[in-house]
Structure 1
């Protein structure tokens, strides 16, 4: 598979935010970090973006797309936006500190 070339701005556009939940914190023991990413982003793009932004070696990327729930907003029916999460597996010895800003 060929490497994806991204500009620095495109890399920052793909990664929206880290996911800070109990489960996401628990999998950091297994060298995994979870990010909220753009719905259109592909696994090779996510891998290239994480490697560029954080300067780490990525071994694998698993993604899930969560469909938005139908909810009531002020009594009117509406729908939340879909979102995509990426669970990124890092190489042995690599870490990303999510408590500091990029």
Structure 2
């Protein structure tokens, strides 16, 4: 099972990474905190202290346009915010 889907690189998560040493990831919906911790430690070679997870539901939207009714939705996903040991960091921008 591929636990980590992609890192979350937003303004808020970048600031949390610099100030509080926390990084966000989109993870598999069925993954638990222990699996997330082991996957991050294996992928990036860091020590994870804490893992917080959040389940986001899909949002549905209906738009009334000239051509008729348009219905859409966003995907549901699970987000994990991991806090690393003091002095360690993950660099998403370096490809080395």
TM-score, scaled relative to structure 1: 0.79
Task: Look up the match of 1:18.
Answer: 7
Mark the runs of 5 or more structure 1 residues left unpaired by the alignment: 1-9
Q: Is 1:36–2:26 an aligned residue pair?
A: yes
Q: Is 1:85–2:51 an aligned residue pair?
A: no
TM-score, scaled relative to structure 2: 0.84
RMSD between aligned alpha carbons?
Answer: 1.9
> Deviation string for 1:8-61 (max 9, x for gaps)?
xx4xx1111111111111111211111111111100000000000001000010
Mark the runs of 5 or more structure 2 residues left unpaired by the alignment: none
Q: Which has the higher strand share?
A: 2
Q: Which has the higher helix share?
A: 1
Task: Look up the match of 1:7.
Answer: none
Ranges of 4+ aligned residues in structure 1 off by more than 4 Å: none
